[in-house]
Structure 1
Amino acid sequence: MSVPPSNAFGRRRFLTASAGAAFAATTLSSCAASVNSGGGGSGSGKTTTLTVMTVADEWDKPTVQAIEKLLNVKLSIVLYDTAKLNAMLASKNPPDLVRSIGAVDTPYFAARGVMTDLDPYFAQSKVLKDSDIDPVNDVWRFDGKKQGAGPRYGLAKDYSQDSMLWYRTDMFDAANLDHPSDTEPLSYDEVLDLGNRLVKRRLGKVKVYGLNVTGMGFFAQFMQMTASAGGRLFAEDLASVDFSSPEALKALQWYIEYAKANIGPSVTNPNPDGWDGPTYQADRVAMCADGYWFGGLIGEEPKLAEVSRFAPAPQLGSHRVSPCFGATGFWMPKDAKNKEVAWKFFEWYFGGQAAQDRASGGWGIPGLKSLHSKMPQDTPFHKQAFEVQQRELPYFSVLPFTPYVQLAALDGAINKVLPNAIKSGAAAGKIADELNSRMNEQISKGKELVG
């Protein structure tokens, strides 16, 4: 999940908004009228171009046309690219809206003063009420020093507790293994053992992965593992990392054992599919950590749903934590040219028909509390996933992320260090020192830029 890219969260997750192509006529006319009154629509004789930076296939062509008609705009889609976004922000010619991962992107962009304070917009909105905003959206707040306080800069379309497990009952049954509990989390050692028992090989090559626990990215998963062991990767001031602590070393050693076992995708043997979706659909992985949102994909295929179940997030120690690494949504750059029209899009996307369609499809816990009741429970599959998710909520947490460097840089350091280190048999302590050196150098440079 180094960027809001299709290969981390999965392309099909981003297609769900297209389900909202059929808009109610009353909603269409009322929303369009309010946009026109903002000076960007037919009332002025002009059509505003609304530029949105997002992932490929965010919306299909009929949905784009419906949005354009709804808001009386011309929608210009710019594919998300970190370097391009940073360049557009620096030139003060940014998109009107940017899709980002709230949990890890908000501190970085807010600390650089490039995000619009949306509090005045929320205060006047009749669609997005402050009392209706799920607490997870505090990841989109930053007061200059810490996440969760200060102005609200964006909103999550949905979220999940991203270390939770999906597993295939048919594969467990074939291996004569008990199914994981719906209520009690497995330990990471138990998960590793299960992965070893579930993997299937042919002619020395893996045919079916037994396990993938880093489908949501490497650094983020290390954060969860370290936290569940009672530690933390970032220092309290978020200006450095420490993989050398006993808790972080324990997480690192576990991952080394996982990679050496070659039972699932890793830095030494990446998944050629790029993410877990196609692999799971093709019956080539028995267990994966992807969060509630992954059920949206599974639920679309009845035969797959019939043999799929959801389980709590595994723990490395006795400090049970089940974090969110995403809370993906949109934010508005400070120098955006069409803020009023962008806000009308915001209201439609997060509070209108599009939001209702996403909620009912099971593609994550909605970002608005009023939409939680639309989470699907109509099938045994959906009911089991919903109940497991509800029981997991008390262990929800957002692990604070540094404002000084982007997640892509930290995942990049892991990808540079770990493959050769693991293959050469380097000790965990030596690997930790190398990670600390590379990451802290990048964080230090970022801190100098922020001031």
Structure 2
Amino acid sequence: MSRRRFLALSAGGVAAGAAALNGCALQVSSGVSGPGEIVTLMVKPEDISPELIQQAQQDIGVRIVTVKHDITKLIAMLTSGNPPDLVRGVGAVDAPYFVARDVAENLDPYFAGSRVLRADDLDPVNDLWRYDGRIQGKGPRYGMVKDFSQDSMYWYNTGHFDEAGVDYPSESEPVTYEDWLDRAKRLTQRKNGQTIVFGGSYNGLYEATNLSTLTAAAGGSLFSDDLSRIDFTTPEARKALGWYVDYCRTRVGPSVIQPDPNAWDGPTYQAGRMAMTNSGYWLGGMINADQKLAKVSRLAPAPVFAGGVRVSPCQGGTGFWMPKKARNKDAAWRVFEWFFGEAPAKDRAGGGWGIPSLKSLRPLMPAQHDYQRRVLKAQEAELEHFSVISFTPYITADGFKALFNQVAPAAMKGEISLDTLARRLNSTINEQLERGKEQVG
């Protein structure tokens, strides 16, 4: 892999990559065979606990060593030919990026020979980790999802609705995005110029995936067929962008012009300061910890645009992928099987922090209480509306966010028109996409 080819990072990524290449690569997997093998994982602390690492040694006889997930360190390790054996990644945005740079191992042969991770047991969400060089969701598998949510679904607190005299959204039929925003306006509470209760949060996991989803719901595509260009001036993308700008402009929820002091929805919703949050099923792990909150919380389907189509994707799909130059692939695959299909996967399924990525584990999802069964019913009905929305391999989600947040606030504050914003976003983001395509090609 050439260094030039890999350094197609976000805006400013070339400088970051160059800095990384001056660093020292870490020594990874020993490559020894048999009991006592060492597998190096590049992960975040919350991905695998010290207790799980000990359990791996007991369960499968493999010693796991972790390296803190860091993109510049990863580039240094990949370009030096000494990468980790497994790397944390977010399927929705990372799969095309790493596959296009020819650094990810095709895992199809491993899946074909596995008795733990069978193809017919894989939830369709795992297609986020498939990429055929043109379309996400097709082609070889390069990774797997640990658990997931359909991130355009949203939770709502019935207590806030009762207080404001607002009708509850249906838990089975989607409301329109316009209706959702109208409710959010009526649910917002302000005092002395300060927002004390957000009517609703609708940021998605990433600006890029949120806007791609909104555009798909309007009946279009944010990116060109070859994923190399973006166009916010199409009727569908303009509609999606206009709705999101209106959401930000009316300040009913957190945004770049009205940040949430907690930095994410969980603590704010838990504290009773947010009436709706599009955090998907996974937030139930936090909600269930407070039975009082759980009893007044409902999960509703992803909204639709009038005249649009019903889509309900996963904007995350966090899991692992294996670098092509990993030193200890067979042992890494054994860790992969264990993590995604054995004891850790079963424990995660029972926690309510996400839908299991194996269909056979769904019966383990929390259903002890009436409120949990209610949520589960809404979630199970939504699964049939899942689809993969392709993301471009030519920019990172963080790179997109940086560029979007440079340009969009002016429109959110009413300083420029929506059409001006659309043209500026096209110019700014397409320039970066062009660089990315050159570096990959």
Name the TM-score, length of structure 1 as normaliser.
0.87
Alpha-carbon distance change, 71 to 223 in structure 1, aligned in 2, over 3 angstroms:
same
CA offsets 1:136-159 (integer angstroms, 9 cap, x no match): 212211222222222211111112
In 2: Cα distance, 1:161 partner to 1:247 partner:
21
Unaligned runs of 5+ in 2: 1-8, 10-29
Match of 2:180 among 174, 191, 201: 191
The match for 1:320 is: 310
Q: Deviation digits for residues 50-104 of structure 1, max 9, x if unmatched?
A: 2211123323333332234434444322222223223322222211111111122
DSSP-derived class of the 1:66 partner:
helix
Q: What residue is the counterpart of 2:393 in the other structure?
A: 403
The CA distance in 1 between the partners of 2:299 and 2:126, in whole Å, is 24
From 45, 51, 76, the equivalent of 1:56 is 45
SS in 1 for 2:419: helix
Q: Distance in 1 between matches of 2:66 and 2:269?
A: 30
> What is the 5 A alignment of 1:173-192?
173-192=162-181
In 1, the alpha carbon distance for the partners of 2:204 and 2:394 equals: 24
Matched, 1:371 2:384: no
Is 1:151 matched up with 2:140?
yes
- Tell me what 2:15 maps to: none
- The residue identity in structure 2 corresponding to 1:293 is W
Describe the superposition over 1:215-272 as per-residue Cα deviations: whole angstroms up to 9, x where unpaired.
4121211111111111110111111010111111112222222212112101111222
Q: Which runs of structure 2 are paired with 1:1-400 in the superposition (5 Å)? A: 39-42=32-35, 47-318=36-307, 319-400=309-390
**Equivalent pair of 2:107/2:141 in contact (CA under 8 Å):** yes
Q: Deviations over 1:174-226 (max 9, x none)?
A: 11111110111111111111111111222211111111011412121111111
For structure 1, which segment, 243-252 or 417-426, has the greater mean C-alpha deviation from structure 2 after superposition?
Answer: 417-426
Q: Is contact 1:215-1:288 (8 Å) kept?
A: no
Count of aligned positions: 412
C-alpha distance in structure 2 between counterparts of 1:211 and 1:39, whole Å = 53
- Length-normalised TM-score, structure 2: 0.89
Deviates more, 1:426-435 or 1:181-190: 181-190
> Which is worse superposed, 81-90 or 118-127?
81-90
CA contact (8 A) 1:96 1:337 kept: yes
The answer to whether the aligner puts 1:416 opposite 2:406 as a matched pair is yes
Amino acid at match of 1:52: L
Q: Among all aligned residue pairs of Structure 1 and Structure 2, give the percentage whose two residues are the same amino acid.
A: 50
CA distance in 2, matches of 1:56, 1:166: 27
Task: Deviation per CA, 1:332-383: give whole Å up to 9, x if none.
Answer: 1111112122111111111101111111222222111111222222212211
**Contact 1:139–1:147 (CA<8 Å) still a contact in 2?**
yes
Greater mean deviation of Cα atoms: 59-68 or 261-270: 59-68
Partner of residue 429, structure 1: 419
For 2:382, the aligned partner's letter is: E
Q: Please state whether the residue corresponding to 2:281 is helix, strand or coil.
A: coil
CA distance in 2, matches of 1:120, 1:297: 37
CA gap 1:252/1:431 in 2 versus in 1, 3 angstroms: same
Q: In 1, Cα distance between the equivalents of 2:306 and 2:221?
A: 13
- Equivalent in the alignment of 1:27: none
Is the Cα contact below 8 Å between 1:211 and 1:264 reproduced in 2?
Answer: yes
Q: Measure, in 2, the Cα distance between the counterparts of 1:184 and 1:390.
A: 13
Task: Give the RMSD, CA atoms, in angstroms.
Answer: 1.9
Tell me the distance in 1 between the aligned counterparts of 2:197 and 2:231.
Answer: 34
1:439 corresponds to = 429
Return the structure number with greater helix share.
1
Question: Runs of 5+ in structure 1 lacking a partner?
Answer: 4-35
Residues 118, 154 of structure 1: 8 Å contact kept:
yes
Residues 204, 315 of structure 2: 8 Å contact kept: no
Whole-angstrom distance in 1 between the partners of 2:186 and 2:155: 16
Task: Answer whether contact 1:215 1:276 (CA < 8 A) is retained.
Answer: no
Q: 2:127–2:388: 8 Å Cα contact kept in structure 1?
A: no
Q: Map Cα deviations across residues 369-415 of structure 1 (whole Å, 9 max, x no partner).
A: 11122222221221111111122122211111112222211121111
Which residue of the partner structure matches residue 448 of structure 1? 438
**How far apart, in 2, do the equivalents of 1:162 and 1:421 lie?**
25
Contact 1:215 1:275 in 2 (8 A): no
Mapped to 2, the partners of 1:430 and 1:217 lie a distance apart of 22
Q: Which amino acid aligns with 2:320?
A: F
Indicate the SS of the match to 1:397: coil
Contact 2:249 2:414 (8 Å CA) reproduced? no
TM superposition shift of 1:39: 4.2
Residue 170 of structure 1 and its aligned partner are, at CA, apart by: 0.8
How much has 1:424 moved relative to structure 2?
A: 5.2
Deviates more, 1:53-62 or 1:340-349: 53-62
- Aligned letter for 1:158? D
